[in-house]
Amino acid sequence: MEWTKGLVRLDGEPLDPSALEGKVVLVVNVASKCGFTGQYDGLQALWKARQDEGLVILGVPCNQFGSQEPGQAEEIVTFCRVNYGVDFPLLEKQNVNGSKRSKLYDYLVSSEVGGGKNIRWNFEKFVVDRSGKVVGRFGSMTKPDSSSLKEVLDKALGS
């Protein structure tokens, strides 16, 4: 799957594309100093509950909204692990909007579901099915345990 190539983990190492092959991926632009940061709890719970079914959560730190992710990689990892127990993959900090938008977010936003619309704020969510098709987009207000997100994940996971 082309969209999985060139992804870099927060520790600077490449993310092996095979880690996403055949998986359902929930991509979330995250920030440590945001009113929605508490969603890390729900994302971690979702990851723990559904990773055996083939769900991967990718957290993508972004500092484009109110400078709410100012930290460097080590600070971000420490914050996420200590405060929320996060152990799902975190990617390197990326731009999700503008002329420097990352290739990942180009793919998500330009998909039919993405509709070409900019990311509005932190903790916006995209669901990519096992074949690499973007099948869901949810705003920041949609919590990880929401019924609307669960419905799309259930369908994508075949549950």
pLDDT at site 2: 87
What residue ranges do the domains of the chain occupy?
2-154
Give the pLDDT confidence of 11-45 residue by residue, as tens digits.
Answer: 999 999 999 999 999 999 999 999 999 999 999 99
Q: Per-residue DSSP letters for 75-111?
A: HHHHHHHHHH---S-BBPP---SSTT--HHHHHHHHS
Q: Indicate whether 1 pLDDT > 80.
A: no
| Degrees to nearest 5, angle at CA 113 with 112 and 115 | 65
How many other CB atoms are there within 10 angstroms of residue 74's CB atom?
10
What pLDDT band is residue 159 in, cutting at 50, 70 and 90? confident
Q: What is the pLDDT of residues 49-97, one digit of tens each?
A: 999 999 999 999 999 999 999 999 999 999 999 999 999 999 999 999 9
What positions carry a catalytic annotation? 34
CATH fold group of domain 2-154: Glutaredoxin (3.40.30)
